[in-house]
Amino acid sequence: LTSLMQSIEGVAGSRMTGAGFGGCTLSLVKKGVFQANAIKIGETYRKITGLEAVAYSFTPSDGVSRMTI
In the chain, where are the structural domains located? 1-69
Q: What pLDDT, on the 0 to 100 scale, is given for residue 61? A: 84
- Position 46 scores a pLDDT of 92
> 15 CB contacts (<8 Å, ≥6 apart)?
2, 25, 26, 27
State how far the Cα of 64 lies from the Cα of 19, in Å rounded to an integer: 23
**How far apart are alpha carbons 6 and 16 in whole angstroms?**
12
| pLDDT tens digits along 2-54 | 888 899 999 999 998 877 656 788 999 998 888 888 888 889 989 998 988 88
Q: Is the pTM of this model over 0.95?
A: no
Question: What's the rounded Cα separation, in Å, for the pair 54 and 20?
Answer: 18
Residue 13 confidence (pLDDT): 93
